[in-house]
């Protein structure tokens, strides 16, 4: 037996970490599905086939502005960056929360996370505080684990690491931006390592002297079947945490600008802030591409 979704159910498709539609990472947001079961949400997320689909829900914590559940096409996850910003965008633009709010608190399976709203720039920017992270492996140990994947790639100062915080990723700093952008990784090998180590995959980055941004990033979440991600909030949060840990007095230790996605036809722009206590905020612009009503049969 199936049940039709309520007529008031609303669905937005957004583009996150971009100042124009088509430049960032797509996201689906469902509003009003508080009576859906987790299996219903998972089935819809599988159908959208977006990297992530979120469900904007009434909070159950007194201090939270809203609650969000985040689904990939195959499973629910505790936290991700672009779904967090996109859900905050949807909450503000649909009146789910006060549209004039100066800050929000997101309730998710990773806890209560502050969301900042910056209206001082030409376009509104949102930023979310990433969950606290820890370095699981680094140095020679991490480099050895990635040796077959990286081959003769010249590594930068920070080398390789595995970092956990909301998500778990392998990280590798390339010594040269051009080499990073031209790199053709072995996606099968990254996927095998990711599954063997319970990580999403490999996030590679390089410092840039372009002037338009400070760090170029490429993310390969092959452990969940995605070859390359156009904009990775959680992964960038882990890179920032690793930089703050390894170079607490370095030029990037308080924040920087990121370029991601050009290799796959996008142009995502992320802004990283690292506070003196080491907490990381990942931010950027968000765009509504589609706003409509959802007609969906639940099981």
Residue range 167-179, pLDDT digits in tens: 899 999 999 999 9
CA distance 180 to 124: 30
Q: Tens digit of pLDDT for each residue in 149-166?
A: 999 999 999 999 999 998
- The CATH code that applies to domain 134-278 is 3.10.310.10
Topology alike, domains 3-128+285-298 and 134-278: yes
Q: Give residues with Cβ within 8 angstroms of 211, minimum separation 6.
A: none
Strand partners, 111: 108
Residue 7 scores a pLDDT above 80 = no
The answer to whether the beta carbons of residues 278 and 237 sit under 8 Å apart is no
In the chain, domain spans = 3-128+285-298, 134-278
CA atoms within 13 A on the CB side of 194: 25
Kindly tell me if the per-residue pLDDT of 3 is higher than 60.
Answer: no
Task: Determine the Cα–Cα distance for residues 46 and 181; give it in Å rounded to an integer.
Answer: 31
Position of tokens 């890179």?
A: 239
End-to-end CA distance of the chain: 7
Q: What is the DSSP string of 215-277?
A: EEEEEE-GGGT-S-BS--HHHHHHHHHHHHHH-TTSTTTTEEEEEE-GGGT--EEEEEEE-TT
Beta strands, E only, the chain: 3-4, 10-16, 25-31, 53-57, 66-71, 76-77, 103-108, 111-118, 125-129, 134-138, 155-165, 167-174, 202-207, 215-220, 255-260, 268-274, 280-293, 297-298
Which residues are CB-neighbours of 51 under 8 A, at least 6 positions away?
25, 26, 27, 72, 82, 226, 229
Tens digit of each residue's pLDDT (9 = 90 or more) over 210-246 = 999 999 999 999 998 899 999 999 999 999 999 999 9
**What pLDDT band is residue 2 in, cutting at 50, 70 and 90?**
low
Provide the β-strand partners of residue 281. 129, 273
Q: Give the domain 3-128+285-298 fold.
A: Diaminopimelate Epimerase; Chain A, domain 1 (3.10.310)
């Amino acid at each position: 037996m199936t049940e039709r979704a309520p007529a008031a159910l609303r669905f937005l498709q957004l583009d996150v970490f971009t100042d124009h539609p088509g430049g960032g990472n797509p996201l689906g947001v469902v509003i009003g599905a508080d009576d859906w079961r987790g299996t219903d949400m998972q089935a819809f997320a599988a159908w959208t086939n977006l990297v992530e689909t979120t469900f904007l829900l009434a909070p159950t914590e007194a201090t939270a502005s809203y609650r969000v559940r985040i689904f990939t096409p195959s499973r629910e996850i505790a936290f991700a960056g672009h779904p967090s910003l996109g859900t905050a965008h949807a909450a503000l633009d649909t009146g789910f929360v006060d549209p004039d709010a100066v800050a929000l608190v997101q309730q998710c399976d990773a806890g209560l996370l502050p969301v900042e709203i910056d209206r001082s720039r030409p376009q509104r920017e949102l930023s979310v505080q990433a969950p606290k992270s820890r370095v699981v492996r680094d140095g020679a140990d991490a480099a050895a684990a990635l040796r077959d994947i990286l081959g003769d790639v010249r590594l930068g100062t920070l080398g390789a690491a595995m970092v956990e915080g909301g998500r778990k990723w392998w990280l590798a700093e390339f010594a040269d931006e051009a080499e990073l952008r031209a790199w053709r990784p072995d996606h099968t090998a990254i996927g095998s390592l990711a599954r063997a180590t319970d990580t999403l995959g490999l996030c590679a980055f390089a410092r840039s002297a372009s002037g338009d941004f400070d760090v170029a990033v490429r993310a390969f979440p092959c452990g969940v079947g995605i070859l390359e991600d156009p904009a990775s909030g959680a992964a960038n949060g882990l890179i920032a945490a690793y930089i703050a840990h390894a170079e607490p007095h370095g030029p990037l230790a308080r924040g920087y600008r990121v370029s991601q996605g050009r290799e796959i036809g996008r142009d995502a722009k992320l802004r990283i802030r690292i506070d003196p206590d080491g907490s990381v905020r990942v931010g950027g612009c968000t765009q509504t591409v589609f706003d409509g009503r959802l007609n969906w049969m639940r099981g």
